[in-house]
Each structure stands twice: as structure tokens, then as C-alpha cells.
Amino acid sequence: MTKLGTKSPANSMYPVPAREMDNPPDTGAPVRGWLLYYCISRAILSPLVFLYTFRGIYLLRLIAIDVTVAVVGFMAGMEVWRMSRHWIRAVWSDLTVRLVQVLVVAVSWQTMSAVRPGRPVVHFIVGGWGLGLVLAWFLYFRTSKRVLVTLGRNL
């Protein structure tokens, strides 16, 4: 028996196939705009940047954090692209790992500049830029109407 106004399957004797029940309902809004840029930058550009800069990184902790950032970023980009119901956890993980990366790089540069004095203004600008990017993506996922329409809820 079905309620009035609801669609019933063609033959109610047979259950809906499992592959249709596993996917969340389609909201009708494709991944576009800044959300598309997030997916491309995390799933494609982040691993490419890691592979490009891998030759120049010499601190083991920076290599470990960059591998983590590339892997978690790839997973977050793919979760958002697929409009998975676990996208919130993936985006939180991505933003947290990127924040840790900015802090580790800032501390590493600070210890290197203590040994070899350089321009502390450059360190401040790069650290501020990294923190600004993490904050911008957090606010985007928190307040964007595109995220609300496409993924069903905000961060």
C-alpha cells in the first residue's frame, strides 16, 4: 500500500535493485562553479603539484604531510564530485590536513630562518596566504548556496 500522491514501483512484489538504493537521491544540480574548481584542484591539481615539488622537498616531515595532503585532497575532491553522502567528512579532513600543512611549513621555515636568517616578511606572507585559503574554502562550504543546492546541506 502506498500513500496518496506517492509513486509506487511498477510491480510492488519485487524490491528496488540495490544499486539504486545505494545512491543518494539526485538533487538535479550538477557540480559547477567554485565547487567544480574545488573538485578539479583537489582531485587533479593537488597530486600533480605534489609530484612536481617532490624533487625539491628535503625534510621528511614535509614529504609526509604533502603525501597526506595529496591523498586526502584527492579523496575529498572525488567525494564532492560524486555527490556522496560522506562529502562533509572528506571536506573537513581536507581542510584540517591543509591547516596542519600550513602550520608545519610555517614552523619548519621559522626553524630554518633561525639557522639561516632571511626575509621573515616572506614567511609571514606565505603562511598568511595558506591560512587565508583554508579559511576561504571553509567559509565557502559553510555559506554557499551552490553547496546547499548541489550537495543537500552546508558544512
The pLDDT score that the predictor gives to residue 25 is 47
Percent of the residues in the chain that have a pLDDT greater than 70, as a whole number: 67
- Average pLDDT rounded to a whole number, residues 43-55: 81
Q: What is the pLDDT of residues 126-147, one digit of tens each?
A: 778 889 999 999 999 999 888 8
What integer best gives the mean pLDDT of the chain? 78
Comparison of pLDDT for 109 and 57, the residue scoring more: 109
- Top mean pLDDT of 20-24, 90-94, 100-104, 116-120 is at 90-94
Please report the DSSP string for the chain in residue order: ---TT----S-TTSPPPHHHHHSPPP-S----HHHHHHHHIIIIIHHHHHHHHTTT---HHHHHHHHHHHHHHHHHHHHHHTT-TTHHHHHHHHHHHHHHHHHHHHHHHHHHHHHS---HHHHHHHHHHHHHHHHHHHHHHHH-HHHHHHHSS--
* Rounded-to-integer distance, Cα 153 and Cα 130, Å: 26
pTM score of the predicted model: 0.71
